[in-house]
A and B are shown apart, each in its own frame.
Chain A
Amino acid sequence: MKKTKLSTPVRYTINTVLTIILWALLTLFVSSSGLKGEYYRGILITIGINIILATSLNVVCGYLGQLPLGHAGFMAVGAYAGAIFMKSTPAATLLRAGNHAAVIPYIIIAVLVSAVVAGIFGLLIGIPALRLKGDYLAIITLGFGEIIRVVLTNIDSVLGFKFTYGASGLARIPKFTSLNVIFVFTVICLFLIHVFMKSRHGRAVLSIRDNEIAAESVGINTTFYKTAAFVFSAMLAGIAGCLYAGYIGSLYPSTFKFMKSIEILVMVVLGGMGSMLGSVISAIVLTALPELLRSFSDYRMVVYSLALVLMMLFRPKGLMGTYDFSMGNTIEKIINRIRGGRRKADTADTGKEVQG
């Protein structure tokens, strides 16, 4: 039986159409919810930010097979870089005047600035840290996350002028992160991760996870690819930080504590290390769940640890394992099944004719 294969343009079209439908549904949902719409919008934006954070950590955690514990640090760097840039632009006045279209170029530049600054930090941390094996990367990145937080708190007194506004917080950041902005950037980030992994570079990263010695034996420059994946992940975390700053409007170093890194890590582990769909699902669930259980919010950490323990007991590889979802492949399978069914029916018919 000849199997139907969907061509690449068809796959891209299907995914684009489905993305637009999803966007339309979300917008409709929020705008039709009346007063509650604003609340839902907030949750959806947080979900978007968490999806970017979880999937970007998944690049290093799941695909590269390393264990970094300082993802919040990169998020913080991106958030402050984007926020300080946005405050220096006339974006706030434009937003107040309701001129949203004019802010778009500033948003794009802010996101790029965040990505680049976070990427530079990723490079600085990655080069020495990735030469070490095993737990050392975890320890170094953990230290980095804490250092960033302490630096953000104290740098003003070192510099002698107001830069990050220390513990009192960087306030009055233009609130540019609308539902549309977060949707677009979440889709872009997911797409970037997808295309990165489906290339020679992605294959090299996966091969390092599966067997570093063998990867070297087939000529893979492991140091380069480890650093590349780490920097890539840091850049995406920076983007998430920038969007977070634009949503929340004021930044405090205490937001980016060690627990924030762990929160992101939990999302990745629960979803299944190495599965983008898993990261997305667990980011949605772990963001929405505390909101649904608002009255139990004190017990969130208990639920987290309980969920982790149960997960490790019953699904040690996470919700999705290493399974990666592909709309194109799923549709291919469905088409093939329908075709197969029809062909069976055809042969059954001819069988009857012969008998008759």
Chain B
Amino acid sequence: MSNVLKCEHLRVVFGGLAAVSDFNIEVNENEIVGLIGPNGAGKTTVFNLLTGVYTPTSGVITLCEKDLAGMSTVARNHEGIARTFQNIRLFKDMSVLDNVMNSFNTRMHYSIAEALLRLPRYWKEEKAAKKRALDLLKVFNMQDQADEIAGNLPYGSQRRLEIIRALATSPKLLLLDEPAAGMNPAETENLMETIGKIRDSFHIAILLIEHDMSLVMGICEKITVLNFGEVIAQGTPEEIQKNPVVIEAYLGKRRD
């Protein structure tokens, strides 16, 4: 199995504060890795470093052995990193179908002139894109909502649509930022199934931030624990659950 994502000694400093210091992680193909840690540990900062929102102070990020240094968010998406957001950022005035089809933009090739003149390539690519988008929605049982405005969907569906939209860019690595935030236990259950399905049918690596321990322990093969920007533990869910350092970070130290 090859590395999809590899971070070495990643560090970012804002003013005098090291938000992330010495962050190392390896994510392999077909693997679900969890990134957990108390509030303010720097989890979302790691995502922002990976997607190019922030520039690391030092350290190397490689995606499939390719160095991502200096690439913009857009370029990194073209390389194969897709993400969802902690607070939903859908295109809420667009239809569900258009939300997904927008992700195909870079994989479609007709020019503005071809679109204005409605030349054959426009029709061909639009038809193919629409079919692909509907197929993708079907995988997640959302084909019936295709024509609805994204902003009118119920919360759970909006979260799911954000994942579909990210998947539509055909990523190698999917970053999920608190996908279960604000969900009830039934919806979380549903989401776990969805994430498992994504891994099985798309064969991609998934890195997810989550506070819901039932979800993290249920589907992640490996877990990395961050605290104050530093990795304090890495391992399988069982190892993490027993790790005294992790317990201390979450619950505090026993006073003797």
Binding site for B on A (CB under 8 A): 192, 195-196, 199-204, 206-207, 209-211, 213-222, 228, 232, 274, 322
In the complex, chain B residues whose CB is within 8 Å of the CB of A203: 94, 98, 101-102, 105
Contact present for B115 and A214 (CB under 8 Å): no
In the complex, chain A residues whose CB is within 8 Å of the CB of B92: 210-211
Contact present for A204 and B115 (CB under 8 Å): no
Contact present for B166 and A206 (CB under 8 Å): no
Contact partner of A217 (CB less than 8 A), chosen from B125, B126, B129, B166, is B166
Give 1 or 0 for each of B52-90: 1 = CB within 8 Å of chain A CB.
Answer: 000000000000000000001110011000110100011
Contact present for A219 and B166 (CB under 8 Å): no
Contact partner of A322 (CB less than 8 A), chosen from B93, B98, B106, is B93
Interchain CA distance A232-B113 in the complex, whole Å: 11
Instruction: Determine whether B251 belongs to the interface, using a CB cutoff of 8 Å to chain A.
Output: no
Q: What's the least CB distance linking B86 to chain A, in Å?
A: 12
Contact partner of A219 (CB less than 8 A), chosen from B89, B94, B105, is B105
Contact present for A207 and B73 (CB under 8 Å): no
Interchain CA distance A206-B95 in the complex, whole Å: 11
Contact present for A219 and B122 (CB under 8 Å): no
By Cβ-Cβ distance, the 3 closest A-B pairs, closest first, are A199-B115, A219-B77, A210-B91
Contact present for A220 and B74 (CB under 8 Å): yes
Beyond A203-B102, A210-B91, 12 extra complex contacts between A and B, CB < 8 Å: A192-B116, A195-B118, A199-B115, A199-B126, A203-B98, A206-B94, A215-B102, A216-B72, A217-B73, A218-B102, A218-B169, A219-B105
Interchain CA distance A192-B117 in the complex, whole Å: 8
Query: B94, B110, B168 — which one has the most chain A CB atoms within 10 A of its CB?
Result: B94
Contact present for A216 and B74 (CB under 8 Å): yes
Instruction: Determine whether B112 belongs to the interface, using a CB cutoff of 8 Å to chain A.
Output: yes
Contact present for A207 and B74 (CB under 8 Å): no
In the complex, chain A residues whose CB is within 8 Å of the CB of B94: 203, 206-207, 210
In the complex, chain B residues whose CB is within 8 Å of the CB of A201: 112, 115
Contact present for B89 and A204 (CB under 8 Å): no
Interchain CA distance A203-B110 in the complex, whole Å: 14
Query: Known contacts A206-B94, A216-B74, A219-B78: does B105 contact A196 (CB below 8 Å)?
Result: no
Instruction: Determine whether B165 belongs to the interface, using a CB cutoff of 8 Å to chain A.
Output: yes
Binding site for A on B (CB under 8 A): 51, 72-74, 77-78, 82-83, 85, 89-94, 98-99, 101-106, 108, 110, 112, 115-116, 118, 122, 125-126, 129, 165-166, 168-169
Contact present for A211 and B82 (CB under 8 Å): no
Q: What's the least CB distance linking A258 to chain B, in Å?
A: 30
Interchain CA distance A192-B112 in the complex, whole Å: 11
Interchain CA distance A196-B111 in the complex, whole Å: 11
In the complex, chain B residues whose CB is within 8 Å of the CB of A222: 74
In the complex, chain B residues whose CB is within 8 Å of the CB of A322: 93
Contact present for A196 and B91 (CB under 8 Å): no
Selected A-B contacts with CB under 8 Å, 18 pairs:
A199-B112, A199-B115, A199-B126, A200-B105, A203-B94, A203-B102, A204-B102, A204-B105, A206-B98, A211-B91, A213-B89, A214-B85, A217-B77, A217-B166, A219-B74, A219-B77, A228-B112, A274-B93
Contact present for A206 and B93 (CB under 8 Å): yes
Interchain CA distance A218-B105 in the complex, whole Å: 9
Interchain CA distance A201-B125 in the complex, whole Å: 13
Q: What's the least CB distance linking B157 to chain A, in Å?
A: 16
Contact present for A221 and B110 (CB under 8 Å): no
Query: Known contacts A210-B94, A218-B166, A219-B169: does B110 contact A200 (CB below 8 Å)?
Result: yes
In the complex, chain A residues whose CB is within 8 Å of the CB of B116: 192, 195-196
Contact present for B90 and A220 (CB under 8 Å): no
Interchain CA distance A52-B108 in the complex, whole Å: 30
Contact present for A196 and B78 (CB under 8 Å): no
